[in-house]
Amino acid sequence: MKFFLDANIPHSALEIFKELNLKCEHARDVGLGRADDIEVMNYAIKDNSVLITKDLEFANLMIFPIESHYGVVVVRVPPFFKASQFVNILRDFLQSIDVKDLKNALAIVKVGRYRIKPLGNP
């Protein structure tokens, strides 16, 4: 499985994926640091990657229909969280699940809890 981190995700989060032996790219590293949502999603789709973002708009199934993407994880943490706190929340989430469950799913991650909704096969 591959993952794609939106520009709003701390770059330091890439370390989590290295620790877990998962392939991952960051938007800033592929020239999408200032890209709009459609460009970000199109890259994730083209790369067969699960998108990880803070942007709740990606959870809107009217804008990004079920069959249009490989999977989305929206991390909702307080805006005052430091990058290290964000990374810890994401690490805890990824270590507590079978990452294969994120394929073709929508996951909402909050402090101390998460919800994963399977979306079907694109």
The pLDDT of residue 121 is above 80 = no
Residues 69-87: what's their mean pLDDT? Answer: 96
Per-residue confidence at 119, pLDDT binned at 50, 70, 90? confident
First to last CA, the chain: 15
The conformation of residue 54, written as its DSSP 8-state character, comes to S
Q: Distances in Å between the alpha carbon of 89 and those of 15, 75, 92, 103?
A: 13, 9, 5, 20
Per-residue confidence at 120, pLDDT binned at 50, 70, 90? low
Per-residue confidence at 68, pLDDT binned at 50, 70, 90? confident
pLDDT number for residue 78: 96
Residue 30 — left, alpha, or beta (φ > 0 → left; ψ -120 to 50 → alpha)?
alpha
pLDDT number for residue 41: 95
3-class state of residue 60 by DSSP: coil
Close Cβ partners of 77 (under 8 Å, ≥ 6 residues apart): 54, 85, 86, 89, 110, 111
pTM: 0.94
The pLDDT of residue 122 is above 70 = no
Residues 75-81: what's their mean pLDDT? Answer: 96
Phi then psi dihedrals of residue 119, to 5 deg: -110, -5
Q: Domain ranges in the chain?
A: 2-118
Beta strands in 6-104 (DSSP E): 23-26, 49-53, 72-76
